[in-house]
Structures are given as C-alpha cells and as structure tokens.
Amino acid sequence: MGDQNEPPLSFEEGATADVLSRVTDAVVAVDEGWRLTYLNEQAEAMLERFLEDHRGTVLWKAFPELVDTPFETQFRQAMTTQEAVTFEAYYGPQTSWFEVRAYPSSSGLSVYLRDVTERIERQRALRERENALQRAYEVVAGSDRPFEEQVDELLGIVREVVGTEYATLSRVEDDRYVFEAVDMAAEAVNEIETGDVIPLEATSCERVVSTGRTLAVGDMQTEAPDIAGRAGNVEWGLSCYLGAPVVVGGDVYGTFCFYGPETRPGSFSDWEVTFVELLSNWVGGELDRRRHLEQLTALDDLDGVVRDITAAVIEQPTREELEATVCACLAAADSYTSAWIGEVDQRTEEMSVRAAAGTDAPLDRIARDDTDATGTAFERAVREGSIQVDRRRDAPESPTWTEAPSEGTVQTWAAVPIAHEGTLYGVLNVYSERAEAFRDQERAVVEQLGALLGHAITATQRKAALMSDDVVELDLEIRDVFDVAVAEGEGAGVITFDRTVPVSGGDYLAYGRTSDAGVATLQALVEYDDAWTSLEVLSDDDDHRFVVTLSSPPVVSVVAAQGGSVESATVDGGTYRLTVHLPRGADVQSLVDSVRSAHPDATLVAQRQTDTHERQATESVPTAFEGLTARQRAAVESAYYAGFFEWPRDSTGEEVAGSLDISPSTFHQHLRTGERKILSALLDEE
C-alpha cells in the first residue's frame, strides 16, 4: 500500500469514481477542519449516513457517537503527529467491531473501515472457551475437594458457557428422575432443589437415558415437538435442552444436562456439545471410582468381621456372644452405621431383637405377613430365604424408612438370613449411609456372612449338646410319613437311620439298616418322591445296610442344625419315631417348629430332663471329631456307615467317593487325614 503516512487515494486531487468503486473498504475523508468531504457507498451503508446530507459538516457533529471514543482519540493523534494509525474499536450504533486505518495529510484525513465483528467474536469465544476449560480443569484436578462441591461448580461453569438458566446432575432409578445437584441463574423462576423427584417420562432426559446418547435441541417446538409436549417442559416453559448420559459401570446412571426457556437459533455448537460430553464422562468416571473405593473399603471391613467371627468360634462362645460380636464389628466398621439380629417367633409371627449395635436402637418388632410381597427387607428375607436390600431412594414413602434407625443418614438396609442346613436362626440386618452399598461382591460377602454365622451357631449348639451332661430328651412322632410308599410296597418294615451326612450341592446321604420290606419301601420312595433321589443297598444280609441320597434336609439334619443330637431314628409301620437330645436351656419349641415346617403332622410325645453322665466314659469320642473339617468328617462317617471298613467291604473307596461327588484320591486323602486326627486325639489322652 506504500507509505502509511500517505493515503492510498487523494480525494482532493479528484480521484476518479472508477478507481474508488473498486475499493471494498468503507472510506471516509475529512479536510483539515474535520469537515466531511467524502463517503463511498460502503461507508454510507455501514454507517447509515449519506454524503449529500452531511457534506461539509464537522465529523463530530455528523457522527456524535464518535466523541470520547477510541475513534476520536486515534484520529486526533494522527492529525497531530501526521502519522498513520491502525486500530480496532467497537462501534455502538451498529454493534460492530471495525478495523480502522487512518492516513493524515496536510489537507485532511482519509479513513478506511472494515467490519471485523465475526473475527473478534470468534476470538472472544475462543478465549471464553479456553477460560472455561481452564476453570473446569482446576475443578476436576482438585482431588482433595468433596465430589459434591466439584459437581456444583462444574454445573455453574457449563451453564454460563452454554447460556441456559438451569443445570442438573440427575440420577435415574427405574421411572423416577432424581435431582442430585442443581445450579440455576438468578433470574430463574422455577425453584428446583437437590433431592426433588419427578417422573422420568416428563423430562427431556428420558430420551438421553433410553438411547444412551447426547441430545441437543435449540428450539423444541420446531426441532423436537414430541419432547416439547412433555409435562415437565410444558410446566416450566422450557425451549432448549443439552444433555449427555452419565455412565457408571456400563449402565446409564443419570444425565448431565442444561436447559432453559429461551430458544437458541442454530442450536448448540459442536464445541458446547463436546464440552458437556467431556464433563459428563468425568462425572461418570468419578462416580464409578468412588463406588469402587467404597466397595473395596466395605470388603475390607467385612474381611475383618469374618476374621473376628472365626476367632470367636475358635474360642467356643455362646450363641449370644457370637451374635453380639457380629453386630459390634459391623457397627464399628466405617462402611456401616448399625447392625442388629432379629428372630421370628413361629407362633406369634412377631420379631424380637436378639443383638444390636450402632448409632440408634433397632426396630423393636415387625409383623411378618406371608402374603405381603412388598414388605420390608426383614420380612422378605424371612419369606424368601435370601439376602434382601432396601434403598431409601427407591421408596421414600415406605414405612421401612419411617421405622428404620438413623433415619436422617441411613440410605441402604440389607437383611441377611442366618441359616444352616435348612434351619433359619434369624436375620442379620445391616445399615449403611452409602446409597450404592450391598452391590456385587459386597452383597455376596454379606450373604456369606449370614451363612458363616449360621454355621457357627450350629457348631456352638452342637458343642453344647456334646459337652453337657444334663440334656432335654424329646420323643417326636410323625405318622404316615411314608404313606405313598407303604401303599405301593409290600409293607413298611422297620427302617433305622444311623447317620445323615451333608455333601456338596446341598444333597444329603442318609445311612441306615432295614429288612427286605423296608428296602421295598425305600425303593417306592425313590420312585414317587422327588426329594429321594437314589437308593443303594450296601449289604445283602438279613439286616440290609443302605444309603439313600436326599435333595432336601431330612428331619435328622433339621434336628442337628438346631444343636440337637438324634439318639435314635426309626420308621415302623409308616410311623417315624425320633429320640432327640438338646442341651439344657435350648429352645425346645423352636426345634419342634422346625420339624413341623417340614412335617406339619409331627407330634411331641414326651419331654424329660435326663442325666447323661454315663457318656463321660466316652466323652473323648466327640472331642476326637472336633479337629476334623466338614469334608474330613463326611469322608470318615460315609466310609464307616457304607461298610468301607467291613471285611469283605460292602463299599469300595471309589463307590464312597462317588456318593460324595469327589474323586477317589480326594476321598482317600480326607479319610487318611481324618483317621490320623481321630487316633491322635484318642491316643494323646492316654
């Protein structure tokens, strides 16, 4: 363009209209007295002034909006110094940014204007984006800050960037939409609070949740009328929406969304969509990480509880001490607030608390209604025999939470059956402040804790029964126990059950002796009763030894699970008679109820206190069995009652192993180890 101190065209020298017409910039010229001498067509259109109306008018009168602006300052500087100036300035009347080049001369000033609003706005937007990214980075990088505080600040940052009145982090549970975090502009007219719940179908977020994809709508009425008509959008007068799914553990947890009543021409930009998706991914990842850490902490706490229970069992405490230990350990763990154990009275169908520990007192009583499928976690655990979990957020109006301890903080309640070999001792109830407690591995470990406690209680009661001289002796009778088999067979005969051994898969091996008629009865049972899986006759002499496989706990096992021992068990003429010993102080009614749950016609014929001091001479026998594992004891007992030690043998090692569903080598290993432990216990006492 040449020397910047000289104008590219000299208007006073009569530059031709032909040349001026090729200039694309707006051109304005004034003389040395600031009087307007020239405006080209571009200038007239840009500035909305016409030369014929203002020729000879002083610039500051023709354009008063230039006074006291960078335009006046720069123009006067150029005339004073006689040096060209270049600058950018905002021109209010046109809401535009101009790039200005002013060339002074002795006869006046030539000004060239170019509209650079688009570039300036683009640069400004870029700076704002960089600033937003920097602010967001500082938030997510602050690992020492509470997650809730980070989310609140991110919502505010993004809401300002995308220009909506509302911002929300939501959690979706089935058909419920929960506001977990909310940010609103000062002018927002609809009040939303954290914890508010509305139907998911009333929101635009339902589309995001169902598709798992981001939704961006600048004008709902024209772009998505089906969404515009949803109840929430109509009630709040919403017109625009931008939301991305928050994914946790592979599932859509909720949405990270922004919305408002103003339409947005051109919808949301690609950058705005990407920004929202970026931060929704961070929120989902952080929720996933926090859930994982909480589960690891809970599993570590549970591991400690299991160790404490194991140590308590070794010390051979009472059932009450075991239950108190479990509750105290759980309540002391960081992952839980309180724990209690409830027991159901089979006659009154009421619950009583056996042990409790934690921040508040547990529930005193819960009526158990077998017909109510929507009851509390405790009720369902009793009814269904499996772990049940209730979450406060799933049923805010439920009486479960109006009666639960620590109502202000507890979010999750797990009810775990305490059971062993078909006997329910009670329900372990554990409370946590974590909304996502008792999922996946944690749920499985808590459920195993109930089984472990049930096993420990059984072992404790059996120990008490074995070591006590004074016992309660019960005579139980069940009539017509094998009525179908008797009808089909030649006669019931006399069947004596010597031992029941639990094996893998929940099955049981019942060993006994009987006559030919009894064998026929047992064969009919296997044919007509699904619980009697198979029968094997082990010896062919007059007193046939047999083993029958059962898929459900027999009465003998039910008694043993209650801490009792079966002194005799015979079936004669279809009537099942059992003589049972329980330790002094045992709950007789509980045992009778357990037997009647399997056989409603069971009758308690007699009950008496008996002194079994004569057992002292052989008290080393139960002691010898104490060191055996469950599998070692099963191997020894099965081998003995299957005739493995007879000569000739009634059953081979392979046959006994097959009945236990283990390999022959494993059977022999358990058997040899069990024999060594028994002999060691017996001989060491000598």
What is the pLDDT, as a whole number, of residue 625?
66
Alpha helices in 231-336 (DSSP H): 231-236, 270-314, 319-332
Which of 66-75, 389-398, 634-643 has the largest mean confidence? 66-75
Higher pLDDT, 160 or 605: 160
pLDDT tens-place string over residues 536-560: 888 877 778 888 888 776 776 667 6
Q: How many CB atoms within 10 Å of residue 612?
A: 15
Which band of pLDDT confidence, cut at 50, 70 and 90, is reported for residue 61?
very high
String of DSSP letters for 117-165: HHHHHHHHHHHHHHHHHHHHHHHHH-TTS-HHHHHHHHHHHHHHHHT-S
For residues 547 and 536, the answer to whether their CB atoms sit within 8 Å is yes
Question: Is the pLDDT at 348 greater than 70, yes or no?
Answer: no
**Distance of alpha carbon 625 from the chain centroid:** 43
The whole-angstrom separation of Cα 238 and Cα 220 is 8
pLDDT at residue 23 in the model: 73
Q: Are 673 and 632 in contact (CB under 8 A)?
A: yes
> Which CATH code for domain 316-465?
3.30.450.40
What pLDDT digit, counting tens, does each position of 398-426 carry? 444 444 444 457 788 899 999 887 778 88
According to the model, what pLDDT value does residue 398 have?
A: 47
For 198-253, the pLDDT digits (tens) are 999 999 999 999 999 999 999 999 999 999 999 999 999 999 999 999 999 889 99
Average pLDDT, the chain: 81
Task: Work out the average pLDDT over 657-676.
Answer: 85
Could you give the count of Cα atoms lying within 13 Å of 130 in the half-sphere of its Cβ?
Answer: 6
Least confident of 184-188, 415-419, 505-509: 505-509
pLDDT given at position 419: 87
The mean per-residue pLDDT over the stretch 640-655 comes to 84
Q: For the domain with range 122-290, which CATH number is right: 3.30.450.40, 3.40.50.2020, 1.10.10.10, 3.40.50.300?
A: 3.30.450.40
Confidence of residue 372 (pLDDT cuts 50, 70, 90): very low
Q: What is the pLDDT of residues 609-641, one digit of tens each?
A: 776 554 444 444 555 666 777 788 888 888 888
Map out the domains of the chain as residue ranges: 11-115, 122-290, 316-465, 466-684
Question: How confident is the model at residue 270, as a pLDDT?
Answer: 92
pLDDT (0 to 100) of residue 584: 65
Extended strands (E) in 544-663: 544-550, 565-572, 575-583, 603-611
How many Å apart are CA 1 and CA 7, to the nearest integer? 9
Q: Looking at residue 526, what is its pLDDT? A: 83
Judge contact between 629 and 611, C-beta under 8 A: no
Instruction: Output the CATH code of domain 11-115.
Output: 3.30.450.20
Distance between CA atoms of residues 546 and 510, nearest Å: 8
Three-state secondary structure of 62-117: HCHHHCCCHHHHHHHHHHHHCCCEEEEEEEHHHCEEEEEEEEEECCEEEEEEEECH
- Host H or E run for residue 660: helix 653-660
Instruction: Decide if 11-115 and 316-465 have a common fold.
Output: yes
Section 169-197 average pLDDT: 88
What is the 3-state composition of the chain as percent helix, strand, coil, each rounded to the nearest 5?
45, 25, 30
Q: Residues of the chain with pLDDT > 90: what percent? A: 28
pLDDT number for residue 522: 83
Residue 520 pLDDT: 83
pTM: 0.54
What phi and psi values does residue 83 have, to the nearest 5 degrees? Answer: -125, 140
Task: Give the least confident one: 50-59, 404-413, 505-514.
Answer: 404-413
pLDDT, tens digit, for every residue of 147-157? 899 999 999 99
The encoded tokens of residue 599 equal 């056989």
Residue 641: φ, ψ to 5°: -80, -15
pLDDT, tens digit, 9 for 90 and up, residues 292-324: 888 888 888 888 877 877 776 666 568 888 888
